[in-house]
């Protein structure tokens, strides 16, 4: 099915992939493998970032071989949950 230019413009990169969170609850490696497949699919134009907690950035580095310059990993960074903006900034300093 052909997608109209208007719909494609509206939905371009609008869906972040959160495979590590409910309902999928995949591990980091499995979620990154799925995302690597999705960025190669015909519908990749609507795919946004891979939702990745910043605490897992180092672990993700070891799994980047699934991606390349034509099929990149864009990250939607998920910071720690905090009650205030100051607590959030403090938590970032601790990472």
* pLDDT tens-digit readout, 36-86: 999 999 999 999 999 999 999 999 999 999 999 999 999 999 998 999 999
| Model confidence band, residue 3 (pLDDT cutoffs 50, 70, 90) | confident
Domains of the chain: total = 1
- More confidently predicted of 91 and 8: 8
| Residue 16 lies in domain | 5-94
Mean pLDDT of 6-28: 97
Query: Quick check: helix, strand or coil at residue 55?
Result: helix
- Classify residue 9 as exposed, middle or buried by CB count within 10 Å of its CB (0-12, 13-18, 19+): exposed
Look at residue 92 in the predicted model and tell me its pLDDT: 83
CB contact at 8 A, 54 and 75: no
Residue 90's H or E segment, with its range, is: helix 85-94
């Amino acid at each position: 099915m052909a997608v109209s230019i208007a719909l494609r413009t509206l939905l371009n990169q609008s869906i972040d992939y959160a495979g590590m969170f409910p309902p999928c609850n995949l591990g980091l490696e499995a979620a990154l493998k799925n995302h690597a497949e999705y960025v190669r699919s015909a519908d990749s134009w609507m795919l946004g970032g891979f939702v990745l907690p910043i605490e897992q950035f180092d672990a993700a580095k070891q799994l980047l071989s699934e991606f390349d310059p034509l099929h990149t990993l864009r990250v939607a960074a998920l910071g720690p949950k905090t009650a205030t903006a100051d607590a959030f900034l403090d938590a970032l300093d601790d990472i």
